[in-house]
Amino acid sequence: MVTISYPSESGDATPPTTVRVWDRFVRVLHWSLVALFAVAFLTGDEIEWLHLAAGYTIATLVAMRVIWGFIGSHSARFASFVRGPQAVLIFLKQSLHLQAPRYIGHNPAGGAMIIVLLIVLAGLCATGFAMTTDTYWGSKTLEEVHETLANVMLMLIVLHILGVIVASIEHGENLVKAMITGRKRAK
């Protein structure tokens, strides 16, 4: 990424106040998944065609996000934000004391959450699709797994939102706005 400096009135170069973090694809995908999961969850057994359409679209977006995690922009790549369990635990302990370091991209806990969310979404899509096949049509067991995954997803969403709130307060920045604009403050 190229950083552009703008001359101040005195002629000195000043650093930009914000930097680009999340590309348009990641932002549109994020908010699309929010909307589509809400549609899928709320329609469930009530509006089957809409539930299925949302599910198939989610499956497509999850696959696209996984691919983008390897070939996308720097901050979208898994290598830039996926850390091991020890780094995640250390970060979470620091966060409990409001002493976690600030990250321009996703912090270790946020990176772990992305992976878990993608896995659960993939599981939801796989079980949902399987229930439409001749082999698993009417399977109560698979339906229970699918519903359990949907409830796990809700719990993960709550944890994700709480993490965003804590990090926003701890570092004095609006992470929701950053996920809309793609920009965060430089320092």
In this prediction, the residues of the chain whose per-residue pLDDT falls under 50 are 1-8
Task: Break the chain down into helix, strand, coil percent, rounded to 5.
Answer: 65, 5, 30
What was the pLDDT predicted at 138?
83
CATH number for the domain including 121?
1.20.950
CA 116, distance to chain mean position in Å, is 9
Give 123's contacts (C-beta < 8 A, 6+ positions apart): 149
In a domain, 50, yes or no: yes
User: What is the tens place of the pLDDT at every residue in 101-133?
Assistant: 999 989 999 999 999 999 999 999 999 999 999
Residue 9, in any domain of the structure: no
- Count of domains observed in the chain: 1
Residue 2 lies in a domain: no
Flag whether 136 is in a domain.
yes
Q: Which residue has the tokens 């969310």?
A: 117
Is 5 part of a structural domain of the chain? Answer: no
Tokens 């969403």 appear where? 157
Q: Evaluate whether residue 90 is within a structural domain.
A: yes
User: Three-state DSSP class for 183?
Assistant: strand
**β-pairing verdict for 6-7 and 13-14:** antiparallel
Q: In this structure, is residue 1 part of a structural domain?
A: no
pLDDT at 137: 87
Q: Which domain holds residue 96?
A: 23-185
Q: Which residues contact 137 (CB under 8 A, 6 or more apart)?
A: 131
Q: Give residue 147's identity as a one-letter amino acid code.
A: E
Task: Confirm whether 129 is domain-assigned.
Answer: yes
